[in-house]
Amino acid sequence: MASGTQTSSEYISHHLTNLTFGSHPVNGMSFAHNAQEAAEMGFWAINVDTLGWSIALGVLFTWLFRKVAKTATSGVPGSTQNFVETIIEFVDENVKGIFHHKNDLIAPLSLTIFVWIFLMNTMDLIPVDWIPFVAGQIGASFGADPHHVYMKVVPTTDVNATAGMALSVFALIIFYSIKQKGLGGFLAELSFQPLGKWMLPFNLFLELVGLLAKPISLALRLFGNMYAGEMIFILIALLPFWAQWVLSVPWAIFHILVITLQAFIFMVLTIVYMAMAYDHH
């Protein structure tokens, strides 16, 4: 719930600002005290909260699946093993249904994308004030102003995180396109289709737009949906206590669908784009 010492706009701004560390023109290497200072730190500033939560959730994913793999039994599986096997079978069916080529990377990549994004999205279900409040108290114990201690706990509401994942997938698309077709074949696909070699400039324009749209659509779709969902939770937190319960519970239940669907869409589009990289025209 919004603090009595903050206006509604200050409360919203605080919850939407990352904990940023970088080189400030005046303060040197430091944490940003507001969004303006974060912007002044430039491109090489690090959103510590996004990076920290992403790594922590990635470690959780790795630890859980490794633990299940090491303790798996061929007899009656436990609930955790059954849950993990269901996820793996679900991802494997999607890969087999879309990607009709031989590449041992695609299934592990798809599994990692689906589970990791799902875990990052699920952080949106944590009440918006809990972790920022704890972070503020920790900062206060070190002499910082709690209102200048930021902590965004949903990495996928940071476009830097979603763009990073999308660009990684894009790099794989380019790599395997060139590996399968050769550099000449890849450039020929960009230049000579769909209208033949006599329309090369027009073909090149269309194909480059389509190619560059892939990472942009991956990054912005995930970011936009999760950012909007987080914003609604923040706005609900500004309402009276009784209204928060009336609205937050139904929205959280509905948001479970959004969380899962966005992870699924990112995974499926990755598989589709990788299959397109292998297809010859």
Residue 221 annotated as catalytic: yes
Q: How far apart are CA 95 and CA 267, in angstroms?
A: 9
Give the CA distances from residue 19 to residues 6, 45, 202, in Å, rounded to whole numbers and listed in that order: 19, 10, 44
Q: How far apart are CA 164 and CA 58, in angstroms?
A: 15
Q: With H, G, I as helix, E, B as strand and everything else as coil, classify residue 30.
A: strand
Q: With H, G, I as helix, E, B as strand and everything else as coil, classify residue 41.
A: coil
DSSP 32: -
Can you give the pLDDT at residue 1? Answer: 46
Residue at token pair 């079978």: 89
> Active site residue: 30, 103, 168, 217, which one?
217
Residue 8 annotated as catalytic: no
Complete DSSP assignment for 70-127: HH--SSS--HHHHHHHHHHHHHHHHHHHH--S--TTHHHHHHHHHHHHHHHHHGGGS-
Q: How far apart are CA 49 and CA 47, in angstroms?
A: 6
Q: Which amino acid is at 277?
A: A
Enumerate residue ranges in the chain where pLDDT < 70: 1-5, 194-195, 198, 281
| 224-265 per-position pLDDT tens digit | 999 999 999 999 999 998 899 899 999 999 999 999 999 999
| 131-172 per-position pLDDT tens digit | 999 999 999 898 888 888 999 999 999 999 999 999 999 999
Can you give the pLDDT at residue 281? Answer: 66
Residue 217 annotated as catalytic: yes
Q: How far apart are CA 146 and CA 165, in angstroms?
A: 31
Residue at token pair 């919850």: 15
Report the predicted TM-score, pTM, of the whole model to 2 decimal places: 0.93
Longest dimension (CA), the chain: 69
Domain boundaries, the chain: 8-278
> Active site residue: 18, 121, 225, 248, which one?
225
